Amino acid sequence: GIQVEQSPPDLILQEGANSTLRCNFSDSVNNLQWFHQNPWGQLINLFYIPSGTKQNGRLSATTVATERYSLLYISSSQTTDSGVYFCSNTGKLIFGQGTTLQVKP
């Protein structure tokens, strides 16, 4: 069955809008990581966040390991935020299926 489920699968935003991406785990979370795969295919580390909240510029992430979910917040979205966002339970080497984000100018 699905072990890492991401929602929504697709998201279209107008530039400047905010959004929240979610990652649910059916199993225990052993270290969690968020990635952005840009349109050129590069996988870029966003956050390594086993628990708690971290912020980096317009992006922030929160992981509640006891409730088996993590959230990625994108504020004031820009066209360069477009791409696919993945979460991964790195302790089990399992990726979610991704959220494809398109930010329109």
Partner 1 sequence: DTAVSQTPKYLVTQMGNDKSIKCEQNLGHDTMYWYKQDSKKFLKIMFSYNNKELIINETVPNRFSPKSPDKAHLNLHINSLELGDSAVYFCASSPGALGTAYNEQFFGPGTRLTVL
Classify 58 as helix, strand or coil.
coil
Our finding on whether 1 is near partner 1 (CB under 8 A) is no
Distance CA 53, CA 50 (A): 9
Our finding on whether 5 is near partner 1 (CB under 8 A) is no
Question: How far does Cα 76 stand from its chain's mean position?
Answer: 16
Q: Closest by alpha carbon to 76, among 58, 54, 61, 60?
A: 58
Interface with partner 1 in residues 28-47 (CB under 8 A)? 30-31, 33, 35, 37, 41-43, 45
Q: Which residues bind partner 1 (CB under 8 A)?
A: 30-31, 33, 35, 37, 41-43, 45, 48, 50, 84, 86, 88, 90-91, 93-95, 97-98, 100
